[in-house]
Structure 1
Amino acid sequence: MELKQLLALVTVGDTGSVTKAARLLHVVQPAVSRYIRSLEDEVGVPLFERSNQGMTLTPAGEVLAERARRALLELDRARAEIRPDPEHVRGIVTIGLLESTVELVAAPLVEALGRRHPGIEVRILSAFSGHLQQWLDDGAVDMSLLYNLDSTPSIAVTPLLREALWAVAPPDAEFGREPLTWARLCENRLVLPVAGHGLRVLIDQALGVAAAEPTIACQTNSMPVQKKLVAVGQGWSVLPAAGVAEDVTTGRLQGGPIADPAVSRTIVLALPRAGRIPPAAEVAATEIVRVTRRLVEDGTWPTASVVAQPECGA
């Protein structure tokens, strides 16, 4: 397999069109078609389904395209790392951020890395914890923020902070200054994460302890959808404080602590154990620790407290 074949495979797969791929790759259209045909001849199976609507990857094509993306990313990383630059660490770093932390973490992290390490190209992917952990295992991200995870044989974790879950209500709801109980919360219809989601597990455990019976208006795997539904009065919800801090400050939502029982989660930084950690990833990990600690210490990350690191040798 040649690099130009893999580039053609991925680009046609992403665009669904040989014409668009040729434009992006700065080659003529017949060349792209030739690369795809020769690759199909080499692997012995069709990689695309061709129709009047365009080109769609077959199941075999999806498998090969995913592998090709990883190979191309590793080549990009290698080029960035070996490009001569006597003053700065260089490289490409892909960082996974929990969807609930993006609003707080993404901007200051990118700013800090750009200021301290301008030779690093930062790529940020966001998702829920389960997806991020899978991407970390698969090598799609170099490191990720996860929650309530201990180290495993494949992943090393560093606890960063602990934060409370908040009750979240529409902007016109009656929301007192005292922490809301789960019983009081369940007087309202709830918009919750789908069953099996890590946050939903914490919520269901708390509901069990409180012996509270919720009426669920909607379940979703999207935090923006949760917030939107609450904002327009379709129910109340439970979310990490980090995910709604800006909405509460601006008045789009109301939010505050929950009691009986209080529920919190621990945010960790996770990196793979296997393989060499590139210098760019090492400095990015250090910057994540620095940025999250600063967000806690200056009060930007509400309800959060820094998790003390163990002493060396402890």
Structure 2
Amino acid sequence: MELKQLLALVTVGDTGSVTKAARLLHVVQPAVSRYIRALEDEVGVPLFERSRQGMTLTPAGEVLAERARRALLELDRARAEIRPDREHVRGIVTIGLLESTVELVAAPLVEALGRRHPGIDVRILSAFSGHLRQWLDDGAVDMSLLYNVNSTPSIAVTPLLREALWAIAPPDTELGREALTWDRVCENRLILPVAGHGLRTLVDEALGAAAAAPTIVCQTNSMPVQKRLVAVGTGWSVLPAAGVAEDVAAGRLRGGPIVDPAISRTIVLALPRAGRIPPAAEVSATEIVRVTHRLVEDGTWPTASVAQAG
């Protein structure tokens, strides 16, 4: 397999069109078609389904395209690391951020890395903890924020902070200074994460301990959907403080910590144990620790406290 063939495979798979791929790769269309046919001849199976609507990867094509993306990324990383630069660490770093932390963490992290390490090409992916853990195991991200995860033979974990989860209410809700109990929360219809989601597990455990019987009007795997439904008055929800801090401060939502029992999560930074950690990843990990701790210390991350290792 040649590099140009793998580039053609990935680009056609992403665009669904030989013509568009040829334009992006700055080659003529017949060349792209030739690269794809050569790959199919080599592996012995069709890699695309061809129709009037365009080119769609077959199951075999999906497998090969995913491996090709990783190989191309590793080549990009190698080029970045060996490019001469006497002053700065260089390289490509892909960082996984929990969807609930993006609003607080992404901007200061990218700013700090750009200021301290301008030679690093930063790439950020966001998702729920389960997806991020899979991406970390698969090598799709170099490091990731996860929660309630311990070190294992495959990943090394650094605890960053402990964060309370909040009850979130519509913006016109009158909330006093008293703490919110589960009985108070369950007086309202709830919008919760889908069953099996890590946050939903925490909520279900707390509901069981409080012997509360909620009315669940909607379950979703999207935090923006949860916030939107609460904002328009569909019901209340339970979400990490990091994911709603800006909304509460701006008056788009109301909310506060829950008691009897309180509910919280520990956010950690996870890196793979296998292989050499490139310098760019090492300094990026250090910057993540610095940024998250600063957000806690200056009060930007509500109800959070710096976690202690061990």
- TM-score bracket relative to the smaller structure: over 0.9
User: Identity of paired residues, percent?
Assistant: 90
Cα distance in 2 between the residues matched to 1:90 and 1:216 = 49
Specify every segment of 5 or more residues in structure 2 that has no aligned partner in the other structure, as ranges.
none
Partner of 1:277 in structure 2? 277
Q: What secondary structure sits across from 1:111 in the alignment?
A: helix
**CA distance in structure 2 between the aligned counterparts of 1:16 and 1:290, rounded to whole angstroms:** 42
After the TM superposition, which segments of 4 or more aligned residues of structure 1 sit over 3 Å from their partners? none
Distance 1:264 1:177 in 2: 20
Q: Aligned equivalents of 1:174 and 1:196: distance in 2?
A: 32
Distance 1:160 1:308 in 2: 5
Shift of 1:184: 1.0
Q: Name the CA distance, whole Å, in 2 between partners of 1:43 and 1:81.
A: 32
Q: Counterparts in 2 of 1:113-262, with a 5 A limit?
A: 113-262=113-262
Shift of the alpha carbon at 1:269? 0.2
Counterparts of 1:308 and 1:262, CA distance in 2 = 17
1: CA distance between counterparts of 2:20 and 2:173? 50
Return the alpha-carbon distance in structure 1 between the equivalents of residues 35 and 174 of structure 2: 63
Task: Note the alpha carbon deviations across 1:142-188, whole angstroms, 9 max, x for none.
Answer: 00000000001101000000010000000011222211111111111
Q: How large is the Cα RMSD of the aligned pairs?
A: 1.0
Change (3 A) 1:122 1:200: same
TM-score normalised per structure 1? 0.98
Q: Secondary structure at the match of 1:132?
A: helix
State how far apart, in whole Å, the 2-side matches of 1:89 and 1:161 are. Answer: 27
SS of the aligned residue for 2:200 comes to helix
Distance 1:308 1:222, change over 3 A: closer
Q: Distance in 2 between matches of 1:270 and 1:178?
A: 36
Q: In the TM superposition, what whole-angstrom CA distance separates every residue of 1:276-298 from its partner, at most 9, and x where no partner exists?
A: 00000000000000000000000
CA offset digits 1:119-153 (Å, max 9, x no partner): 00000000000000000000000000000000011
**Structure 1 alignment gaps of length 5 or more:** none
* TM-fit CA distance, 1:193: 0.3
| Contact 2:170–2:230 under 8 Å retained in 1 | yes
State yes or no: 1:76 paired with 2:91. Answer: no
Matches of 2:137 and 2:176 in 1, distance apart?
A: 43
CA shift at 1:308, angstroms? 4.9
| Distance in 1, Cα, partners of 2:173 & 2:281 | 45
SS at match of 2:113: helix
Superposition TM-score, scaled by structure 2 size: 0.99
CA distance in 1, matches of 2:197, 2:77: 33
Distance in 1, Cα, partners of 2:110 & 2:307 = 25
